[in-house]
Amino acid sequence: MARQSTRTVILGGFVLCGILALSGKPFVSYIPGTTSINLFGRPFQGDPFPWETVKPRKELRWQKCYVGRQCARLIVPLNYSDPDGQDAVIAVIRKPAIIPPNSGFYRGPVIFNPGGPGGSGVDLLREPNSGFFSMILGPQFDILSFDPRGIARSTPRVSFFKTDVERELWNSDLRVVNSSVEGIARTWARSKVVGQLAAEQDYGYLRHINTDQTARDMLSIVEAHGQSKIQYWGFSYGSVLGATFASMFPDKIERMVIDGVVDSEDYYGTLWSNNLLDTDKVMESFYTGCADAGPNGCPFWAASPGDIKRNLTVLYESLRSRPLPVKAAASYGIFDYSLLRFTVFISLYFPYAFFRDLARGLAELAAGNPQMIFERVKPPPFECPCNAPERAFASVPDSSVAVICNDGVDVPSDLKATEEYFETMIKTSSWYEIWASIRMNCIGWPKFPKAHFRGELNFSYRIFSHCLRI
């Protein structure tokens, strides 16, 4: 990262895979606007750091937090068009550079965004494996991230519900959308309710939870850190955030990496129409890879990729007609078609990290033992820790919905348009029954005025082909 000139660098999704391979521990991912699934990772255990003890300030005042990290809470305008109005508070975390700031070799902070929208930057960097970012970039950079406005530890935090119990009860009834009239209509009706709940809980802040204001927050963080230009690395939705920043503040970029690039125009159009174009190919790689690995290398092995695919289809159909009751050591519930589809789908995000465990779980499921895979994808039953501060700082799917719906064009609210959209998009990918709910979450969204920046992405960039080689 030499400093001679300003440029924007675009990468594909390869670097993230490299980080995963090095760390041996995947980052937790989730589908935007849905309840998270912590596939083959650990469930939310609360935040061991008391964020309520960090005083919000208009400058970055760092204090120790977690292991080898520093945290701060930065006061910014809730609405940058009204800087003297209500405040927002952004939770910021960094892993300090090994080289001291007064050294001539110190190169300042690199800001990370993990994606989503709705992903927590604090969660990204609080984990020990995030130290690999320093290994990649070098000891001269601060590794810095933040919870975007409305998300997790940044306030006001988006919530459509008065209590966590309400949210858990509502989301416990989520299902995969299907092409039946009942399936689409049910999801449509739920989205109408979500919009009403959002409007009722809004006290004027909700319309300002968007990518425009988050980009301005990043500039505020950069300037509070004593820098004039941003160094940034964003994954997935973070590529939309980076491209938006570049269009809004082209003279404020030192270096920028947008990784796992999302089609920003499709995103701002609330279309979600081209994200799954190659997803079926990744699924095919599971079948072929399992067949090639042989019975010793793949627990779900069969003689050919087609046989493996048919065996998985048998599991789908079996669970569709006869869900399994499960009482595992740490959790309990019903293993049904929707849960298996979500489980397989999430594994496609991280095939190198997850496919072996997925094959083992499918093999045990086929043998009549669903406990292993169930425990790995279902967290322990929800417990209400009354007045527990860590719950107030937990990520919730509400914030993801808010960013998506505020950013994008308004979605038609009638059921017929919803059915036509689903029928069109299910032809693009067999996985659209899961993905469709992202756009459908916005069906009943309040009709806020959308005067903020929403995707006129005009910026120049270079693609370094050597960066794509791994």
CB atoms within 10 A of CB 304: 11
Q: Where are the beta strands (DSSP E) in 206-317?
A: 230-235, 253-259
| 308 close to 302: Cβ distance less than 8 angstroms | yes
| Pairing of β 87-95 and β 142-146 | antiparallel
Which pLDDT does position 442 carry in this prediction?
96
Alpha helices (H) along 298-336: 305-321
233-250 pLDDT, tens digit each: 999 999 999 999 999 999
- For residue 103, the one-letter residue type is S
Least confident span in 16-25, 150-159, 234-243, 253-262: 16-25
Whether residue 151 contacts residue 158, with contact meaning beta carbons closer than 8 Å, is answered with yes
Q: How far is CA 105 from CA 2, 99, 204, 226, 253, in A?
A: 11, 7, 45, 16, 20
Categorise residue 397: left if φ over 0, alpha if ψ from -120 to 50, beta otherwise.
alpha
pLDDT of residue 390: 55
pLDDT, residue 382, reads 76
pLDDT at 462 exceeding the cut of 70: no
Residues of the chain above pLDDT 90, percent: 67
Tell me the residue ranges of DSSP E strands in 135-252.
142-146, 230-235
Q: Which of 47, 73, 45 is nearest to 59 (CA)?
A: 73
**Coil, strand or helix at 67:** coil
Cα 415 to Cα 291, 324, 420, 442: the distances in Å are 43, 32, 9, 13
Per-residue confidence band for 35, with pLDDT thresholds at 50, 70 and 90: very low
Answer yes or no: is pLDDT of 42 > 90: no
On whether the CB atoms of residues 81 and 87 are closer than 8 A, the answer is: no
Strand partners, 325: 334
> How far apart are the C-alpha atoms of 408 and 218, rounded to whole Å?
20
What is the rounded CA–CA span in Å between residue 403 and residue 152? 13
Calculate mean pLDDT across residues 322-328. 93
Predicted pLDDT at 131: 84
Q: What is the mean pLDDT of residues 340-369?
A: 94
For the four alpha carbons of 459, 462, 463 and 467, in that order, the dihedral sign comes to negative
pLDDT value of position 14? 34
Q: How far apart are CA 292 and CA 288, in angstroms?
A: 6
Please check whether residue 168 is in contact with residue 424, taking contact to mean a CB–CB distance below 8 angstroms: no
**Residue 177 phi/psi, 5° resolution?**
-70, 140
Name residue 276's amino acid. L
Q: Which of 6-10, 193-197, 310-314, 372-376 has the lowest mean pLDDT?
A: 6-10
Domain-wise residue ranges, the chain: 9-48+94-155+205-270+452-468
Q: Of the ranges 303-312, 372-381, 390-399, 432-441, which is most confident? A: 303-312
388 or 128, higher pLDDT: 128
The pLDDT of residue 180: 57
Span 368-389, mean pLDDT?
Answer: 78
DSSP 186-198: HHHHHHHHHHHHH
Q: What is the pLDDT of residues 136-172, one digit of tens each?
A: 999 999 999 999 999 999 999 999 998 888 888 888 7
DSSP string of 136-148, one letter each residue: HH-TTSEEEEE--
Average pLDDT over residues 345-356: 92
Is residue 151 helix, strand or coil?
A: coil
pLDDT value at residue 165: 85
- Say what the pLDDT of residue 1 is: 33
Which amino acid makes up residue 397?
P
Looking at per-residue pLDDT, the higher value among 427 and 173 belongs to: 427
Question: pLDDT (tens digit, 9 = 90+) per residue, 66-122?
Answer: 999 999 999 999 999 999 999 999 999 999 999 999 998 999 999 999 999 999 999
Q: Is the dihedral of CA 23, 25, 30, 35 positive or negative?
A: negative
Quote the pLDDT of residue 178: 64
What is the reported pTM?
0.87
Q: Which two tokens stand for residue 373?
A: 């895979």
Nearest to 114 by CA among 28, 227, 216: 28
Average pLDDT over residues 213-226: 97
Residue 323 pLDDT > 60: yes
Residue-level pLDDT at 68? 92
Please tell me the CATH code under which domain 9-48+94-155+205-270+452-468 is placed: 3.40.50
Q: What is the pLDDT of residue 22?
A: 34
Q: What is the mean pLDDT of the chain?
A: 85
CB 262 within 8 A of CB 235: no
Whether the pLDDT of residue 458 is over 70: the answer is: no
What is the per-residue pLDDT for 75? 98
Position 389 scores a pLDDT of: 55
pLDDT at 405 over 80: yes
pLDDT at 464: 35
The percentage of residues in the chain with a pLDDT greater than 70, rounded to a whole number, is 83
Q: Take residue 158 and report the two structure tokens written for it.
A: 């988006």
